[in-house]
Structure 1
Amino acid sequence: MNLKNNLDNKVIFSVKNVPMSASKLRRVLHQIRGHSYDEVLMLLEFMPYRTCHRVLTWISYAAQKAKYEMDWRYTDLFLNEFKVDTGSSRKRLRIRAQGRSYTIHKPTSHITIILKNLCIRGNSKKKNNTTLM
């Protein structure tokens, strides 16, 4: 797991070689993109997919790191974007009858989750609106 802090108010969290298919992860992450951190927690808790539990732990870990290192509040976090790439596939052998064997391909994925802070973005707009009035 890797966490990077950028100067433009976002936290980049990446996980490599996750033992899941990229399409299964994209199915969950497409539904939660663009929501606040509190909404993401509620959505992931009630979705019927197995991958939701792992995605929930990664997002909560990224939020904890953002709070600890950047001193952001959980209520101001926003799931801005994500990226799911296919990794290498692990190959296993299935032993069959008469000395034959078939390969089983177990896919892996690389995930990058980007969290932004809504409070900082919102305060800059409020300052511009108050100066115009």
Structure 2
Amino acid sequence: MGKPSRERSLPENEAKAVARNLRVSPQKLNLVAGLIRGKKVDAALADLEFSRKRIAQDVRKCVMSAVANAENNHQLSIDQLVVAEAYVGKNLVMKRFHARGRGRASMVHKPFSQITVVVREVAEDEEKKSKGRKRSKAADAVQAKEAE
């Protein structure tokens, strides 16, 4: 007799994964998360594979876990997955002391953080619409002049 399963908090076309207790500051982790936001999963994994940031490998594992959750638990197509959200949160902070001159000490903060990656299945027609939206207003004005 277990407890009843709770309702799904994400829509049917999304899956997520969380990596906790990553030994990096949230600010540095957010730089890596910014690299993958809004990209297709295969492009995001390629960017993380060749990133020079140390924490990029842990973020890559989290993205791969989100893809595996989407494929195995929610039967989503992995070819149409996009990193919809990648957000970073603070975790615990270890406080240590560093010996200084004249018998004094100073605090050393060793922060931990966590990252949540949400992947979303996007159909091809939605993909084309989103690519069309990225054009600038100047490009729209040029196209309008050509139409006249």
Q: TM-score of the superposition, structure 2-length normalised?
A: 0.69
What SS does structure 1 have at the residue aligned with 2:76?
coil
Match of 1:38 among 39, 42, 45: 42
User: What residue is the counterpart of 2:33 in the other structure?
Assistant: 29
Give how far 1:14 is off.
Answer: 2.2
Partner of 2:145: none
Identity across the alignment (%): 28
1:40-79 correspondence to structure 2 within 5 Å: 40-79=44-83
Contact 2:90 2:114 in 1 (8 A): yes
Q: TM-score, normalised by structure 1?
A: 0.76
CA distance in 2, matches of 1:15, 1:85: 10
State the structure with more CA Rg.
2
Q: Is the 8 A contact 1:5 1:11 kept in 2?
A: no
Cα distance in structure 2, aligned partners of 1:12 and 1:42: 19
Q: Could you list the runs of 5+ residues in structure 2 that have no partner in the other structure? A: 1-7, 130-148
Q: Which amino acid in structure 2 is aligned with residue 46 of structure 1? A: F
1:16 corresponds, among 16, 20, 23, to 20
Give the aligned partner of residue 86 of structure 1.
90
Aligned-residue CA RMSD in angstroms?
Answer: 2.4
Q: How many residues align?
A: 120
